[in-house]
Each structure stands twice: as C-alpha cells, then as structure tokens.
Structure 1
Amino acid sequence: MARAAVAVLLLGLACAHAQSYTLDLQQPQKSVPYNTVFNGFQGPAEEIPPTDPLVAPPANLGPYTPWSVHVTLAEGGATGSVWISWSTGQPSFVNNTAQLPQPSPANKYADDYPQPPKYRFAPQTPDPASVASQVSWGLFSGKYLSTAVGTARSYIQTYLFSGPTFQSQLFHHVHVTGIPYGKKIYYQVGDPSKELSGEFSLMLNSSLAPYAGNYPVKVGIVADVGVTYNSSATYQHAVAHDPDFIMFYGDLAYSDNYPANGNLANPLPTPEYALTGVTQGQTFQPHWDSMTQLLQGSGAGASIPYMFLPGNHEIERDEQLRTFQAYTNRFRSPYEQSYSTNPLYYSLDVGPMHIIMLNAYGGPVPNTTINTNITVLQAAAELGNSGSILNPNGNYPFSTFGYDQFNWFLNDIARVDRGKTPWVVVNWHQPPYNSYSTHYKEFECGRLEIEPFLYANGVDIVMHGHVHAYERTFPINNYAVDQCGMRWLTMGDGGNIEGLYKTFAAQPGTCSCTPVFNSTYGNGCPCQNTSPTTTPGRCSTFQGTDPATGNPLWAPVNGAQPTFSAYREPSFGHGILEILDDTNAQWTWYRNQDGEAVSSDKALFTRNTAACPNKLMPKYTPPSKGGLFKHPTHTLPPALVNHLNNASAALTNSVDVVVNHINAAP
C-alpha cells in the first residue's frame, strides 16, 4: 500500500511539473536574430591558453601520474557500469627533417615512392604493458574494497613527408561493473606500484537503471564545445543543473583548427599525402589534452558519466589516412554490448530510453597511403567520404552512414521493446533540419536515407550538433508538421573557437550566387532561395513555391523561418532533457548570457500513442536461428501500415518535385 501511495504521489508530481511547460505543438514559432549588444555579453569565443589552470596538465606531472580522468556511461542491469578513462605520461613529437638518422632496412619508407626518399626512425609510443590500468573503488571514502583492471593504448599521428609526427601518451580504460544505483562510490585510478590519483566520487542515480521506471531522468545536452572560456561556461552551467548524465554530440576539441606545430601565427607548411600534391588538413594533437582537462574540471567529467559520439572535427586524417585516432584512443564507448563492431556507433538502454549514437562520417575510408601514380582528382576520389573533389584536403567530408553502420542501425532499432524503453532517442552530428545559412541542407542525402526508418519505428527525439547555434523543430516528418514525427534538436552552440553562426538561410546579404542556376532564374541570383547547391553529393529538395515567381523553393524567401522550425537563436548554451514518465518529457534550452545559465526556450514533448501507432512498435522477437538479420522482419499492425503508406507517398511526391525540376533545367 505504501509503495502504491508513493507511486501515485510521484505521478502527480510529474504531471504537475509537465503542466508548467506548454506542449510544443501549441506554441507559436519564435526566431531570435543575433544581436551584437545582447550576444556580446557572452564574450568572444576566446581559446583558453594551455597554461591556464582550467586546462593545464597537473603540476609535477610525472611519467605515471594519472590525469584527464573522465567517466563514460556503460550498460546497466540490476547494477550499473561505467568506463573510467585517464592518461599517463606526456606526448612527444618526431620532426621529419634532413638531420634525421641515415636509412637502415628497419626504418626505410622509400620502396613505394618513385621520388627521392626521406628517411626516419619509426616513432615509438610508451609500452601499454609497462603501466597497470587499475581502478580501486568502494562505498566509503578511502576504503576501496573492489578492484577493476583494464588496458592502455596509444597512437601515432603521422606526417611522414612534411610536418612533425605526434606520439601520444598512454590512455587507460577500465570497465567498472557492479555499481549500485543511487549510492555514491569513491575511487582511485592508476598503477598501485607506481602512482595513484587522488580520490574521485560518482553516483549512478536510480533513474539510470534500465527498465526500472524510475522517473524523472535528467539528461544534459552539449555539442561543439571546444576549449574556450565560453566552453567552460557551457560545461559549468550544464553541471549546475545536476544531470544524471550528459550526452555530447561531437566536435569535442577542435584540434584540427590548428597547424601541426600548434602555432597559428607561424604554421608549418601544409603536409601532403605521400608526395601526390594533395594536401591534407593539419591538426595539433596536444590540444586534445586541454579538452580532456577542461572536461575533468569544468565538465565534472570524473563525477558525471558522459556519452559521446564523433563529429567532423574528430576525423583528423593523418598521412596514412587513419581517422578518428585521437577520439577512439581517448574515449571508450560501450559498443560491444549493442552488437556493434565499431566504437564510433552504438546504442544503450538508459532508464526508459533506448539511445542510439551514430557516426555521420561512417563511409569507407582507404587504409593505405594514396597511390602516387594518380592525379589530384583521382586522389581525391580515392579518399572516399574522407574528402571530396571540392575539398580533398580538409577534415570535412560529405556525410554518409555507410553500409555496415546502417545495417547495424536497422537491426538495433528493430530490437527495441517499447514496453521496456518507451522513449527512443537517436543522435548524430549533422542536423538535417537546419535553417541557418551555414550547413543548410548539408545532410539532405542522409535525411532521405534514414528519416523513413526513424518515422516507421516511432523515434521520438533526434539530436545533433555541427551548426553553431540553437534550433528546435516541431514534430516533423519530411518537412511537414506531424504529431507522430520526430522532434529535431540542434545543439552545436557549446562555445567553440569558430564562434556562432549568426545568419539564417537565404537571409538577404548573406547569399552567394550559383552561376549554373543564374541563367535559369536571372535577376543576378541575389539569394539561393530557389537555387540548390551545385556541390556534388548533396541532394537538393524543394518545399513549397515562391509566390512571386512560382518557382519551387529550395530555401525560405528572405531568411524567413521555415514551418518546421519552432525556435531558433544564435547563442551559446546547453540543453536539459527531463523524461517525466512514459509519455511526457520537458525540454529546456539555457543560453550563456551574463555569466549565468538563462532559460530561453521551454517545451513539453508528448508521445501521443493513441494517435500514433508508430510509437507502439511490436515487441521484438529474435530471429529463429539467432544472430543478427539484414532487415526488420516483424509484421506491422494494419493501422501503422496505412500511416506509413501516407508518409511514403508524401516523401515520393517531394522526390518527384526534385526530379521534375532537374529535368526542366536547361
């Protein structure tokens, strides 16, 4: 009887809490333009110097001193688990210059290249077996009755033909299991025979227990944070709201905004891919240490569990075309438990949520150095999605999930049991729905690929970073407001060095002409509201028509807020998602103004299961022979089939408009 009374009381509190937020579908649109005076209170996106205590390595850092400690949320059951990660040692560089030692058979790198060779000794990182990776923990301060042991790893970022080669320190990762929910634990990390850290503490709140129905669940949301003073403010404001955990949607450090020597004023010559003439983007790897130190300090990374996914600034191709090295070595994801074979994408059941973390840059990338006997354009093509003909040298490719990841996604989402995890949240870096001029419709091909599956499976919320501003949509499917669709949230406003994106799509004075369409539309092509991008690999779709010309619209006229957009504002900040019960969640976005976290946008999200059969997917039944299968095979309810057929017809009509428009072009 007492438990029932408590349950009724909690439900009443949740409903009362929800009533203080207005349902998003009942709110008017709001568009807040950038204001020099108002936004100036945030200060510039000024990088924190590496000597600042916010980001500097610990004093008296020795070869075995643990530093940059952070916690990643892992799978749970009756008890919880986390990955605890840290660094030991310091990074170093090997300079590729003429005074390097003369060649020997062990260090020769010339056989594959027809031009005069350069030689070097193979760089060496610390031996991972030389330092133990151990976490000692317990329920009382100073009394560690449990021990977990993990492994260490390191990496090399090579610029063999020009520029320094980076040799990392060791990165330790330990899986700590059996953590009781709702109780604080105390822990130390390090090698007991060499050096241990000070004491840290963390608590996995009972709301994180999968399928337990413990509400509310409070989630902090950040992305594109970087290492500026605004980044620190974003972390601190998010932590001040005492979230159960924090999700970070990519672009963590922005190390690739720096040359390989870290000196913006006097950068090194741009390195190239194996003497092909194709240059590559540089990156200053020690900047990652500033990021992880800021995460441990301002972000309370050793006490609050995080979940991470990669963005484009994590790609960081080196001369051997290796990607995501800093990210995958420094951060540990619980990918194995969701049958993923790749640490860049995974899923996790957290409380009442099934959370899917995807890699927007997951297409194939060659593992070998580019053949030297090819042209620059051929080299760019060989880079695959890790580059493009227009941009072969940057860390900024076209986006693709890739076959393996997309097939894993279809299998993963088909296994969701809405009776256990009523909320399904999917996340990746690039937003399909974005009404800012920067990155506008950049992910349109990806949207056309994945959105029908998101809708068919009743996904509730989709979140992103990438665009350095804030935007929230209404429930949307294929650009139309649909109460059964997904809420899309863009949270790339974490405070990074590149600053805010201040202008909206097709806003007068912000558009550039695309000559190939100028002859079609005339009038000097003042804005691209009717002119799709000419960039290869970007899908151009149209929504509505221009009342003045009758032409289909690729972007809103004169920067108008599109109908899918509920709220948009170019300010730094963070979000808090609070799941109140099986059908209600409240969303709050806080801007970093005046040094305080100011609530700017609030909305109630409701899962209308009565009107939306896609929100009540059937209970998952494993394949008869076990293992994974290629596509979802369960039978859909007739009401859902009709609902999906209508949505599919709308999508087909949209594609037909694109095809007809292209065919009609001269």
Structure 2
Amino acid sequence: MRTAAVVTLVLSAVAGVLAPASADNGIPTTWQSNSGPAEVQYVEQPFTDDGGVQQVHVSLAPQSSTPGAVVVSFASSTQSDDAGVYYREDGAKEISFVSAKVTSYSHTTNENGGTYTSPYLYHALVEEVSTNCTLRYEPSLQSGQQPAELSRAVRVPPLASAFGGDPNQSMKLALIGDLGQTSNSMQTMDHLVQDEGIAALLVMGDLSYADNLDERWDNWGRLFEPVLDNTPLMALPGNHEIETDAKDGVSFRPYAHRFQNMPNCQNGCGGFDENGWKANMWHSFDLGSAHIIHVSSYHKYEPGSPQYMWLDRDLKAVDRRKTPWVFVNLHAPWYNSNVAHQGEYQSYDVRRVWQPLVCDSRVNIMFAGHVHSYERVLPTCDNTTVNSATGVTHINIGDGGNREGLYDYWLPGENGRAAPVWSAFREGSYGHGVLDIRNATHAYWTWHRNDDGEKMARDTTWVVNQVAVEAAQEGQRGQDGVGQGPTLVNNFFSVHITFLPLLLVLMLAAYSAFVTVVLLRRRRGERDYDRLTELTATDKV
C-alpha cells in the first residue's frame, strides 16, 4: 500500500438527500436510504499532478473478445489521441501496443459548489493475450514512446469452462461491499492482498463514497491503484453511485465513465444510453467454472423492463454442464436481519420479482452489500424454509470500510429465537470474503474480519453445488446403464450391478461356511464310527 495521510473531515449526510431521479434514466422515482454519522475518517492520497498516468485499474474484458482479454483503464490530466497500453506476455520478447479510447465528463452538484470536470479517462482493450499467463504492461500517453521496461503485471485467468476450459478447475474470488476510502478501507485491502492467487476482486457497489464530491473519485482511484493495477476489478453500482447531476438530472455519470469494461453484452446489457454507448449498470461474465451476473438494485426491475428481460435471458443461456457455478451479485440484499435498511423496496420488492428467476435457475450464491455488517444466510427461496438442495445461499458483505460506520444491531427471530431461522452467522465488523472454488461441486467460503489489526477467519463454510452433484450422479447412473430411462429392467440390473461385489463376498462366505459344516460333520461321523467299532469289539453293545 502507498503511504496515506489520515485526516478527519466533517461531511453532510449526502446519501440520504438525493434529488429524485429522472424516469428517463430507468431509475425509480423514489428510494429510501439510511445515512450514517457525519464525522468520519477519510484517507487522502498525497498527489502532485505532473500530467502523467494515474488511477490505473484492470478489469476483465468483453467476452466478444478473445478469452484472455482484459481492459486497462487509467486517467490523466493530459489529453492524448495516441494513448494506449504497451504489453507482452511474461517470457515473450516482443512488446505490442494497443490504442485506448478516451472519455471525460462534467458533473454539476450542489455539494461541490459548481461543476466538476474529470481527468481524461482512458480504456484500452488488450485482446492478443493467452489465458493463464502473466501479462506485463505499461499505460502510456504516447504510442511512439516505448518504455524501457513494463513495470506492471496482472495474472490472466485460465480459460473459462464456458469456452472449453476444465469445469473442475479451482479459482479464488475476493469479495467486498461498501468499500469507501477510510482507514478501515485501507486495512481491508491490506488484508485482501495477503490472500494469494486471487483471480478477481468483486465489489458489491458503493465503491468510493464520493457522494457528489467528485475529487474523491480521483483520490479513490489513486489510493487503491497498488491493488487494482494487478488484480482485475469487477464492480456493480450501489446507491452511492447514483450521484444525480443537478443540472440535467442524469444519474450514475461518474460510475459509467470510469468503469467501461462491460464484459458480456451478447444478451444485451447496460442501462441508460447517454452518449451512444451503454452504461455498465448490469452485465455478466464467465470466470473459471463460474458464470457471474452483476445487476443493479437501482434501475427498473419489473417484468418487461430491460433489466428483467436481460436477467431472464442471461440465466437461461447458461449451460450448467459446462459452467457448473452461477452467482448473482447486487447491492441491496434480499435477506437481512440487521435493524438497518429494513423496508426498502430495492430489497423486498426486487426479491419478490426476481426470486422466481433466480431459484428456477438454481443459482448457487447471491452476494450483496448495502448493510454495513456481515451476514450469511442458509440456502432458502421463500424467507422461511431452509433447503440445502434447492435454496440459494445469500451472503451480505457490506462491511468493507465505508465512512458511515458499522451496523451491529440485529432483529430477533420468531418464537423466541435469537435470529431468523435462515440466518447462519451475523456480525458487525469490517472485513472481506474469499470464495475458494475447489471443483465443480464444492467451494469453501471464508469471511475475514479486520479485528485487532489482524486478518482473522471469523466465519467459514462449505458450499455444495447441488446442480453439479446431481449431474455427476446422473452421469454415474448413465455409465452403469441407467441413462436410458427409469425402467424396471434397468433398475433391476442397476441394483444388482451396484451390489455385485457385496453379493460375491456373501456367496463366498456362505460357501465357506457350508464346506466347514460338512467337514465338521464328516469328522464327527468318523469319530462316532470309531467309537462304535471299539464298543463292539469289547461286547459292550
């Protein structure tokens, strides 16, 4: 981590007083938010602008590209039509160059006292890359000035199972929600980088907590550059990304310009279309053996809405034989036993509308943020019944380090229970999660809390992919001759073939016992005959 100065700022509760959003943006006209304490710790990254490259982060690329492609994003106060990225695979001699597209935006808010203009924001699609390699790269503002060395590196993931990779491949994902830019945020990220082999960092919204103070987006990008330039960042929008423009009513503008990777638009994706390109509001991507879906809690979600129809298509398009794991990530959690953020329709009504899609598709896990605490929910699909075979596991990780503080007040369960029947673990502490996918059927989840300055594994559990387990069992039955249908003949032979070794053992044991009995009787008969002969000889008979 770079050295950062910690300063105390007094902030107004911006998130609770957002102007109504324009219906043209596809955003509901009203929404509810809880605002945290005003006095917070804010980490400011020392910075002197020399006109060079800053705020570098890497993300996974559109899947219309080659499977190993990544997007390198960076910012600069210098405008350049020749900007791009120099790169080569580790071990290769030749250095290549790819041009970047450039964008910028202006944002008018009451909080910043006028109009903010962003740096020039560059996004370069690096396609000619192999999977499962180390990519060395260097962003540049000039195409003709090849650097002496490529100082940055990112690990390109192995080929996803959706494109022919191994469905049993292992993979680690790091997950954070409501990160912010405080000393707690720094501690969370410092702990995260101690986990080796992270394929990507997934953030469940509320990234910077800029809250219309746009310079904080720039500070956030510089603050976490030492992590995000070597770990692919995959983000989704939260309520703190809404940031409605006071002049034209457009929302999500800073987020949309800064995160333009849009991994999969083959089934349609996006949100509002401001400048001829679709905003990165919802999307999906394949990583390892998983299909990962990011959706927005703050765009229209009803049946017939663009997001609903996209989600329905995307879920139905997943081939679980190739891609055994499916995760759906969003900001507002569907299941939450914390006192905070109760009664918000972005949680309960979105759940009512989308839960049939998610449960019918047998999604494995849903990750969320928003509530500033940690909670793991047992597999469920109806708010009352725990069903490990068909339910969806929900994990809320809105404890990344935000400026509003932690929520550690909890609701009791029914009938005198300390917690709802579906709540497995809950705690109001900062931290992050790691999902370690071991194979097609099992993944190991760990929540690490930032307790006493040490990374601690506070909650762990195995997640069993019932879809893959059932597929494996069906495949085994098919190999045993049961794959043509559940006929009585097939079942008869299946049972006998399955227990054939046991039957052979029992038959051998029975035969051995029979032989033993026969031999014992023969020996006893011989003794009786000898005795009879002896008695006859002595005239005692």
> What is the TM-score when the length of structure 1 is the normalising length?
0.59
Counterpart check, 1:447 vs 2:351:
yes
1:199 shift after superposition = 2.1
Counterpart check, 1:315 vs 2:242:
yes
User: Matched residue of 2:186: which SS?
Assistant: helix
1:579 shift after superposition = 1.0
Separation (CA, whole Å) in 1 of partners of 2:429 and 2:380: 23
Separation (CA, whole Å) in 2 of partners of 1:566 and 1:140: 44
| Matching residue within 109, 118, 121 for 1:168 | 118
Partner of residue 275, structure 2:
none
Letter in 2 for 1:236: D
Partner of residue 332, structure 2:
430
Partner of residue 195, structure 2:
241
Aligned partners of 2:62 and 2:261 also within 8 Å: no
Letter in 1 for 2:42: I
Separation (CA, whole Å) in 1 of partners of 2:42 and 2:426: 28
Counterpart check, 1:56 vs 2:46:
yes
1:75 shift after superposition = 4.3
Aligned partners of 1:45 and 1:230 also within 8 Å: no
1:558 shift after superposition = 7.8
1:203 shift after superposition = 1.2
1:472 shift after superposition = 0.4
1:560 shift after superposition = 2.9
Separation (CA, whole Å) in 2 of partners of 1:607 and 1:322: 41
Q: Which residues of 2 match residues 211-610 of structure 1 at below 5 A? A: 211-213=164-166, 215-242=169-196, 243-256=198-211, 283-297=212-226, 300-319=227-246, 320-342=248-270, 343-363=280-300, 403-442=305-344, 443-479=347-383, 480-483=385-388, 484-505=390-411, 556=414, 560-609=418-467
Aligned partners of 2:161 and 2:323 also within 8 Å: no
Distance change (3 Å), C-alpha of 1:595 and 1:471: same
Letter in 2 for 1:83: V
| Matching residue within 164, 167, 177 for 2:127 | 177
1:239 shift after superposition = 1.7
Separation (CA, whole Å) in 2 of partners of 1:232 and 1:188: 25
1:401 shift after superposition = 9.0
User: Matched residue of 1:189: which SS?
Assistant: strand
Structure 2: any 5+ residue segments left out of the alignment?
1-37, 271-279, 475-484, 487-541
Letter in 1 for 2:305: Y
User: Matched residue of 2:128: which SS?
Assistant: strand
Distance change (3 Å), C-alpha of 1:612 and 1:289: same
Distance change (3 Å), C-alpha of 1:68 and 1:444: same
Q: Which residues of 2 match residues 55-74 of structure 1 at below 5 A? A: 55-57=45-47, 59=48, 61-63=49-51, 65-74=52-61
CA displacement 1:408-442 (0-9 Å, x = unmatched):
11111111100111111011100010000001242
Partner of residue 98, structure 1:
none
1:45 shift after superposition = 9.4
Aligned partners of 2:105 and 2:118 also within 8 Å: yes
Distance change (3 Å), C-alpha of 1:251 and 1:218: same
Separation (CA, whole Å) in 2 of partners of 1:309 and 1:208: 21
Separation (CA, whole Å) in 2 of partners of 1:155 and 1:148: 23
User: Matched residue of 2:321: which SS?
Assistant: coil
Which has a greater percent of strand? Answer: 2
User: Matched residue of 2:175: which SS?
Assistant: strand
> What is the TM-score when the length of structure 2 is the normalising length?
0.72
Partner of residue 32, structure 2:
none
Separation (CA, whole Å) in 2 of partners of 1:321 and 1:609: 44
CA displacement 1:102-148 (0-9 Å, x = unmatched):
xxxxxxxxxxxxxxxxxxxxxxxx8x6x4433111013589552221
Distance change (3 Å), C-alpha of 1:195 and 1:316: farther
1:233 shift after superposition = 1.1
1:196 shift after superposition = 8.1
Distance change (3 Å), C-alpha of 1:338 and 1:568: farther
1:402 shift after superposition = 7.8
| Matching residue within 137, 145, 153 for 2:87 | 137
Distance change (3 Å), C-alpha of 1:414 and 1:79: closer
Letter in 2 for 1:168: S
Larger radius of gyration: 2
CA displacement 1:320-349 (0-9 Å, x = unmatched):
111111111111232454332412101111
Identity %: 31
Partner of residue 154, structure 2:
202
User: Matched residue of 1:234: which SS?
Assistant: helix
1:62 shift after superposition = 2.3
Separation (CA, whole Å) in 1 of partners of 2:309 and 2:214: 33
Aligned partners of 2:205 and 2:235 also within 8 Å: yes
Structure 1: any 5+ residue segments left out of the alignment?
1-43, 90-125, 257-282, 364-398, 507-554, 617-636, 639-666
1:594 shift after superposition = 1.9
Distance change (3 Å), C-alpha of 1:239 and 1:208: farther
Q: How many residues align?
A: 418
1:595 shift after superposition = 1.5
Separation (CA, whole Å) in 1 of partners of 2:259 and 2:143: 25
Separation (CA, whole Å) in 1 of partners of 2:335 and 2:365: 13
